[in-house]
Structures are given as C-alpha cells and as structure tokens.
Chain A
Amino acid sequence: SQTIHQWPATLVQPVGSPLSLECTVEGTSNPNLYWYRQAAGRGLQLLFYSVGIGQISSEVPQNLSASRPQDRQFILSSKKLLLSDSGFYLCAWSVRGAGGNTIYFGEGSWLTVV
C-alpha cells in the first residue's frame, strides 16, 4: 500500500532563517506531488505541484520554492522565512488513472516563524 511521510512534524524558526520540509511517497511510481499551506483559521491553499522529476508549477507568488530531486521526493524550501510563512504545511500525492485521481494527504508540518 502507498504511504506518505512528511517531516519534521513541528518546527519553530526565527525570521530570516532557512526552511526545508521534506516529503516522500512509498508504494507508487511517478505520482503527482503537491504542497499545500493552511494559515491559522484559513482554508487550504495550493502552493506547488509537480507531475514529474524536476517539473514544478507554482500556484501563488511567495517566499517559498519547491524541488523534486527524485520521483517520490518533494521538498519545500525558503532561503529567508517571514512571519507570514507560519502555518500548517501539507504534502500530498495522487496517481493518474481512470475514474478520477484521488489526492491523499500527509499528516502535515506545523511551522511557527518567530
């Protein structure tokens, strides 16, 4: 069965520091991968998605970047964090197929920028 791992689960970082959140998917090949963010009291916002290695699409302009160095690895990064980057970050995956492409989410990472 497929599983998704995301780490770290919680993170407290000072303003201006770098960020790296990692996500890996097991049990599937060539998945679509996604990063979402949920600010406190707000809805889920799609940040990035990837349909293959090295293929990254950004949904909103921001202080973050994403990379996909391997088929089942997705990394969210920032060179200098802002207070507004605080939130709940979720990695997700899906596999293209008939009958719709269900997206499955990880457990999320809580980021607090102080």
Chain B
Amino acid sequence: DAKTTQPTSMDCAEGRAANLPCNHSTISGNEYVYWYRQIHSQGPQYIIHGLKNNETNEMASLIITEDRKSSTLILPHATLRDTAVYYCIVSSSQGAQKLVFGQGTRLTINP
C-alpha cells in the first residue's frame, strides 16, 4: 500500500473550518484514501473515504486532487470534541483490506 505524509500537529480555532492535508504521491489506481481519527484512549473512528471524486458526509468533506497525489480532510465547523489524532491512510480494495496507520496529525481545537 502507498505511504502517506501528514503534518505532525495542527491547531484550529473552535467554530472555524479545520483543513487537514495529506500527501500520497505513490497512490495506485485501485487504492482508496481513508480518514480515521482517534480520540485519546478510544478506538479509531472512521470518518470518510474516497477514490477520486470529492466526498461529503455528516462528519466531514474529502477533497482529492485530480492527480490523486494529495487530499484534504475538511471539518467545516470544528468543535472542542474534534480534538484528536487524524490518520490519512491509502489502501487497496483488493484482498484483505489492511489499514496501515502512520503517525497521523494531532489536531487541537482551541476555544
């Protein structure tokens, strides 16, 4: 599976949009981009995933560049409860679908 690169940490003001970038320049054609987050002492929570089109759900939006080499997760109106480590993962839909977690981005929402 392709590797991803994320900033180690980010800050965002409460109520503002949080934009988390991810680079995945070696992504292949059958690999999806997944985003998860982990709040301290809890299991990772699925947020959103996409292949090449932009996606939106009740939690967030995922913007994937046309060349698919990078993406941005957008939390439109960040709250204090969005403080967590956010993981961007690239994984194939073939086979056992293993997710390989990197270090992620530690997002802190400030009041």
Interface residues of A (CB under 8 A from B): 32, 34, 36, 43-46, 49, 51, 57, 59, 88, 90, 92, 94, 96, 99-108
Q: How far is the CA of A49 from the CA of B91 in the complex (A)?
A: 15
Contact A49–B98 (Cβ < 8 Å): yes
Grouping DSSP codes into helix (H, G, I), strand (E, B) and loop, the A interface class, with mixed when no group exceeds half, is strand
A-B contact pairs, 12 of them (CB 8 A): A44-B38, A46-B98, A46-B100, A49-B96, A49-B98, A92-B43, A96-B97, A99-B93, A100-B93, A105-B43, A105-B44, A108-B43
- Which range holds the interface residue count of chain B? 20 to 34
Residues from chain B with a CB closer than 8 A to the CB of A44 are: 38, 44, 101
Binary A-proximity of B31-43 (CB < 8 A = 1, otherwise 0)? 0101000100111
* A56 → B minimal CB distance (Å): 11
- Write the B94-105 contact mask toward A (1 if CB under 8 angstroms, else 0): 001111111110
Residue B2 interfacial (CB < 8 Å): no
- On B, residues with C-beta under 8 Å from A are 32, 34, 38, 41-46, 49, 51, 91, 93, 96-104
Instruction: Specify which chain A residues have a CB less than 8 angstroms from the CB of B103 in the assembled complex.
Output: 43
The docked-state distance in angstroms from the alpha carbon of A88 to that of B109 is 25
Q: Which of A45, A51, A90, A99 contacts B43, CB < 8 Å?
A: A90
Q: Which residues of B contact A108 (CB under 8 A)?
A: 41-43
A-chain residues with CB within 8 Å of residue B32 when the two chains form the complex: 100
Q: Are B42 and A107 in contact (CB under 8 A)?
A: yes
How far apart are the CA atoms of A105 and B45 in the complex, in Å?
7
Q: CA of A102 to CA of B89 in the docked complex: distance in angstroms?
A: 11
Say yes or no: A32 contacts B97, CB within 8 Å: yes
